[in-house]
Structure 1
């Protein structure tokens, strides 16, 4: 079943040519007739309850971007803060409390920190939050984290490496279809509910 089966606006958007390059600040040519689509338009088209979040991995802090005001116990806390409107950066030390975040961001850990986080992974396995065989399958950055910049997509100070969109199955299906129409394959990861 395709988006056209639902008679939605995105089906019409898919049928029009899209720009082949990404422009910053964010403007996306996904709209009818090649009309630019902003974050607001994307949120409206998909009826998102939460704005898209931009995450950029950079070597140095962008000018004017503050360090996160408080370290979160889990990496997804940073996503929530950005969705709520905050613009900030984190460094590797800000991700050491979260086993999954430290893994995905390729945070350099001391032997003691590795042992502590493996204990946390064991706890997560014991609580059925994840399976031990899932751990090697979790995507990881190839290079060690220097600086991560988090922001609502509309306020992102630099071109994002990742755009996080929180939505239901229908919303994410429409987004995946639009991305496929642009010859890009989105990576959709399902986060377990706890």
Structure 2
């Protein structure tokens, strides 16, 4: 079973320095618009979900999915404090499965795919959830995921019915954006 980043370390994922280095508003702005349905897998404390909720606004929805209830509680408390909780639906995943319904314009998997026990099944589930004109954003930390492992994830995404559309530069990350074929 892969190592899952504990909720006890959430503070390290949300610190102000990381927000300055990664700037989630800038990272996601090219891919999401007001009114969209967005899925943030492995949302943690809301590093991406909260800025995405600000972008999609009151006519959109961010489903913030995580395996740890403590992460969802932390994310929702922060979303409430930042005034975007009405645009975010927390979802507790099951082990090995995202388990959400519906279809999404944008699916985010930021620094979490390497924590999934069955990457192929996970990518297949993501593919089943994305709209035909949607985008899947995959980023992995270069200090946990080697170029060789990321290449295998990339090949798995292609095999599950995605095509690469962009390679955004993310500090300390290996990143691809995909669209369904």
TM range (shorter): under 0.3
> Rg: which structure is higher?
1
- TM-score scaled by length of structure 2: 0.25
Task: Tell me the TM-score normalised to structure 1 length.
Answer: 0.24
